[in-house]
Amino acid sequence: MSLEPFDIDTSPPTPELLEVARRELRETPETRAAAIEDLRRLLHNATDLHYRDDDDFLLIFLRPCHFYPESALKMMRRIADFKKSNHPLMHNLFPIDEKISFTDHGIVNVLTNKDHKGRRVLLMNCGKAWDPKQVNAEKMFRLFFLVHLVAQLEPSTQINGVVIIMDFDGLSLKQVRALSPSFSKLLLTFIQEAVPLRMKEVHIIKQPYVFNMVWTLFKPFIGEKLRNRLEFHGSDMKKLHKYISPDYLPKNYGGNLPALNYGSRDWYPCIEKYLDHIAKWNTYGYANTP
């Protein structure tokens, strides 16, 4: 069955993917079975937490934690903490709540192809393409959050991880004024503590001088692990190509693929397709949280 361009691949990992998982994540049939059993036991004993415990779901947490069950449980608890701390922003969030942000504004996008390492590439247009009067910073976060809920269902992405390209082309004071220390803390706490995905690289591109004001907001909340994954390229796309082959990038980023002619409006039906997972995710976290 061929995969639609604006969908994820939920099929089981190929032998090639499983070899990557073995090499990078310690994943073998024996390790996987033992870790799932141990995490299920730990979760049952953590009576204050509410998550489902089927094998596929537990793998969402075990893979980014290299199959250490205790680490996976800690991640589940961090996610519960994040949801509790940001309850008004995230409570009962569904794609329909941000449909206009998806369909009418090109802020978040995902390349239809993966890169040369099999990683999903998420694009965030934070410069002139973002009109904060139409989509404020909190709405932008909610878009990112909904996309991550669908990405976590893709076994190849669980294994290979994701790359983020943040495009600040045309950034002006209009966008800078829409950001705040509280939003910076929200976004960076989420990325570093509450995303059950392997965040491999974050590339900052086309940033003008005014970006220094944004960096002043972000910098206090960036830990060492994320700092080591951050790369700043400005307009030097050849530098970006050292990390992502131009054969897998559109012309917008100096690549050999056609210029982007799609965006979040095309991905929106994919987000809606996985409503069942999103609805269940809304119930996960601390058992006594509404």
Q: What are the beta bridge partners of residue 224?
A: none
Extract long-range pairs of 1-8: CB within 8 Å, 24+ residues apart.
5/112, 6/112, 6/262, 6/266, 6/267, 6/269, 6/270, 7/270, 7/273, 8/150, 8/151, 8/153, 8/154, 8/157, 8/270
How many C-beta neighbours within 10 Å does residue 176 have? 17
Of the candidates 172, 91, 179, 163, which has an alpha carbon nearest to the alpha carbon of residue 121? 163
d(CA 35, CA 57): 13
C-alpha–C-alpha distance, residues 134 and 117, integer Å: 35
Predicted local confidence at residue 1, as pLDDT = 45
- The predicted model gives 218-224 an average pLDDT of 96
Residue 163 amino acid letter: V
CATH number of 15-90+275-286: 1.10.8
Contact 39, 31 (CB under 8 A): no
Q: Predicted confidence band at 267 (pLDDT cuts at 50, 70, 90)?
A: very high
Q: 97-273 belongs to which CATH class?
A: alpha beta
d(CA 241, CA 72): 33
Taking the C-alpha atoms of residue 161 and residue 154, their distance in angstroms, rounded to an integer, is 10
d(CA 187, CA 76): 18
pLDDT in tens, 111-150: 999 999 999 999 999 999 999 999 999 999 999 999 999 9
In this structure, are residues 157 and 8 in contact, taking their beta carbons and an 8 Å threshold?
Answer: yes
Please report which confidence band the pLDDT of residue 289 belongs to, taking 50, 70 and 90 as the band edges. Answer: low
Between strands 162-167 and 199-205, the pairing is parallel
Alpha-carbon distances of 213 from 134, 180, 182, rounded to whole Å? 22, 11, 15
Pairwise CA distance, residues 276 & 141, whole Å: 21
Whole-prediction pTM value? 0.95
Q: What pairing do the DSSP bridges indicate for beta strands 108-110 and 120-125? A: antiparallel
Domain ranges of the chain: 15-90+275-286, 97-273
Residues near 30 by Cβ (< 8 Å), separated by ≥ 6?
none
For the chain, give the mean pLDDT: 96
- Confidence at residue 288, expressed as pLDDT on a 0 to 100 scale: 76
290 versus 174: which is more confidently predicted?
174
**Predicted pLDDT at 4:** 78
Q: What is the pLDDT of residue 2?
A: 54
Question: Cα(202)–Cα(276) distance, rounded to whole angstroms?
Answer: 30
Per DSSP, the three-state class of 162 is strand
Give percent of the chain above pLDDT 90: 97
125, containing H or E segment: strand 120-125
Q: What is the rounded distance in angstroms from the CA atom of residue 16 to the CA atom of residue 236?
A: 33
What confidence tens digit (pLDDT) does each residue in 36-95 have? 999 999 999 999 999 999 999 999 999 999 999 999 999 999 999 999 999 999 999 999
CA–CA–CA angle 14, 17, 18 (5° rounding): 85
pLDDT, mean of residues 187-212: 97
Residue the block writes with tokens 């969030």:
93
Tokens of 213: 């004001």
Q: Which sign, positive or negative, has the C-alpha torsion 166, 168, 169, 175?
A: positive
